[in-house]
Structure formats: structure tokens, C-alpha cells
């Protein structure tokens, strides 16, 4: 698939996916969502890639939301379909990937943009970043998981206030709320995520993917996360990575994980 709205850079096992529509502040139109799905899927399936980073092109925006011009005339049915398809192919898809996904929020992350960042496994932000779910100012609610993931990350009260006011918060406030883990000058965003990715890549990819699954299970209704943890913990004992990790520790050397 030819990529028109996405740039992909691969560096030392880290795939950085840039959403690349800077003239529209990287707003997510249908084509971009499809390209993101294809790109994320292909890098997740590539065993050489140990960490995925999603960011926006340029210095102004991560993603300024879903592309308003595409859905302004939608019916109720078309609106539901837009949300359900988007959630399936992109937002839930990213949350459940086996490869760790970091959002590097380099500017505005609004509406679908903040929802995309929240679907990633964790977030870092540049000092100029501004985040919000402005959907109620357009007469709609967040439809890409925002009403569910925002309260998970910041608590019900902050989520209610952010969604009701449709306002933006700055990066430091987002850090205080627990929405982002780190805030750094924009010019340090790349080196910061590469440093974190390097630390992640020292560890077992199999164990990390099982940890992602178990942590996500905590937020699923009707699923016993403790049972998932027990199963995944046991399954780790049958992996080459576990043998390598424990042997390397006992031999006082660095583990060389192969991811199987």
C-alpha cells in the first residue's frame, strides 16, 4: 500500500510512525486511519522492531482530531459506523499490540488525536503540547474510546471536566493528571523516546507482550485479570527468553533475548 499520509522511519529497532498531514494539523481522515492500521500491523509483525513510536510531523501538532470535514454531514448510522470501524482497526488494535507503542505528543493532541495517544501504551509530551477532547463543542462526544480511556488514565472527575468543558490542558497539567509520563523540550522528544525504547529493548519481548496483555486485562469487563496473569506467568516459563534471562543472571552476563 502506498503511504500518502504517513512517514515511517526505522532506527535501531525502533519504528517511528509520523502522521504526516501538517497542513491539516495531522487530522485523521479515513485514508490516514487505514494507512496507520497497515503500517502499525506491518511493524508489529516485524521481529526486528522492538518498540513503535507514534508522533506527528512538524512542530505544531501530534493530531488535531478526526477530520471534521469528512463527517460533518454524517447520519446517526454513519456516525456509529465511523466510531466502531475506527476503534476496531486503529485504537483497540494499537492498545492490544504485542509490541510496545509510545505516543510522542509533539503539539496539539485533540479529539481523535488524544484518543490515539491514549490507545498507545504510554505517552511522553513536548512542553508545547496541548491536549483535550473538544468533541462536545462540536455537538458530539468522543467516539474513538475517549470516554473510556480518559477516566482510566486521569480519573472520573478530571475526565468529566475535560469532556464537559471541551477545554485544553497543557503538558505539565497532563503530567500532573497522569495522562503523560514525561514532559521534555520539543528538541529532546526524539532522544527521550529513544532512551526509553533502549531500556525497553534490553528486556524480553515475549515477557513484555504478555505483560501488555495482563495489564490491559485489568480494564476489561468480565475478565479476571489475575487469572490472565497466572496463565501468562506460567507460559513464560516455557519460553527461550525465560531460559536466557535466568541463565544470563546466574552466569552474571547480559541477557540476549531473541523474542521467542
Grid cell listed for 65: 482530531
The three grid cell numbers given for residue 117, joined into one nine-digit string = 495517544
Of 132 and 205, nearer to ligand COA (C-beta) is: 132
Task: Return the range that interacts with ligand COA (CB under 6 A); candidates 42-50, 105-113, 213-221, 229-237.
Answer: 105-113
Report the C-alpha gap between 156 and 150 in whole angstroms.
Answer: 8
Q: From the CB of residue 61, how many other CB atoms can be counted at a distance below 10 Å?
A: 25
Can you say how many angstroms the Cα of residue 110 is from the centroid of all Cα atoms in its chain?
A: 14
Q: Minimum distance between the CB of residue 27 and ligand COA, rounded to whole angstroms? A: 4
Instruction: Select from 255, 258, 236 the least CA-distant residue to 246.
Output: 255
Candidates 104, 135, 162, 193: give the one binding ligand COA (CB under 6 A).
135
Instruction: Specify the stretch interacting with ligand COA by CB under 6 A; choose among 78-86, 90-98, 103-111, 147-155.
Output: 103-111
Sole binder of ligand COA in the list 67, 118, 119, 179 (CB under 6 A): 67
Please, are residues 16 and 55 in contact by the beta-carbon 8 Å criterion? yes
3-state DSSP call for residue 124? strand
Contact between 30 and ligand COA by CB under 6 A: the answer reads no
List binders of ligand COA among 142-201 (CB under 6 A). Answer: none
Distance from C-alpha of 213 to C-alpha of 83, rounded to nearest angstrom: 23
Binding test (CB under 6 A) with ligand COA, winner from 111, 145, 146, 205: 111
Contacts of 13 (CB under 8 A, 6+ apart): 48, 49, 50, 51, 197, 201
Query: Is 115 an annotated catalytic residue?
Result: yes
The verdict on whether 48 is a catalytic residue reads: no
Mark 10-29 with x for binding to ligand COA (rule: CB under 6 A) and - for no binding.
--------------xx-x--
Known catalytic residues?
115, 135
Please report, as ranges, the residues that interact with ligand COA according to CB under 6 A. Answer: 24-25, 27, 64-69, 108, 110-112, 134-135, 138
Amino acid at each position: 500500500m502506498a503511504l500518502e499520509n504517513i512517514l515511517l522511519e526505522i532506527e535501531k529497532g525502533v519504528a517511528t510512525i509520523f502522521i504526516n498531514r501538517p497542513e491539516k494539523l495531522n487530522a485523521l481522515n479515513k485514508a490516514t486511519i487505514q494507512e496507520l492500521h497497515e503500517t502499525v500491523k506491518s511493524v508489529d509483525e516485524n521481529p526486528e522492531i522492538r518498540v513503535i513510536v507514534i508522533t506527528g510531523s512538524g512542530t505544531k501538532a501530534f493530531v488535531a482530531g478526526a477530520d471534521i470535514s469528512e463527517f460533518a454531514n454524517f447520519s446517526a448510522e454513519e456516525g456509529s459506523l465511523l466510531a466502531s470501524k475506527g476503534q476496531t482497526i486503529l485504537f483497540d488494535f494499537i492498545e492490544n499490540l504485542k509490541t510496545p507503542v509510545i505516543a510522542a505528543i509533539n503539539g496539539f493532541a485533540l479529539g481523535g488525536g488524544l484518543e490515539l495517544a491514549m490507545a498507545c501504551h504510554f505517552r511522553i509530551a513536548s512542553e508545547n503540547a496541548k491536549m483535550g477532547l473538544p468533541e462536545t463543542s462540536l455537538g458530539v462526544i468522543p467516539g474513538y474510546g475517549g470516554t473510556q480511556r480518559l477516566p482510566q488514565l486521569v480519573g472520573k472527575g478530571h475526565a468529566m471536566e475535560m469532556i464537559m468543558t471541551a477545554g485544553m490542558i497543557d503538558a505539565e497539567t497532563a503530567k500532573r493528571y497522569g495522562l503523560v509520563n514525561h514532559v521534555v523540550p520539543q528538541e529532546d522528544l526524539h532522544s527521550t523516546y529513544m532512551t526509553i525504547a533502549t531500556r525497553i529493548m534490553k528486556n524480553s519481548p515475549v515477557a513484555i507482550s504478555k505483560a501488555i496483555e495482563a495489564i490491559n486485562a485489568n480494564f476489561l469487563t468480565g475478565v479476571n485479570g489475575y487469572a490472565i496473569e497466572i496463565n501468562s506467568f506460567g507460559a513464560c516459563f516455557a519460553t527461550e527468553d525465560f531460559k536466557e534471562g535466568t541463565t544470563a543472571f546466574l552466569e552474571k552476563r547480559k541477557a540476549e533475548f531473541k523474542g521467542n
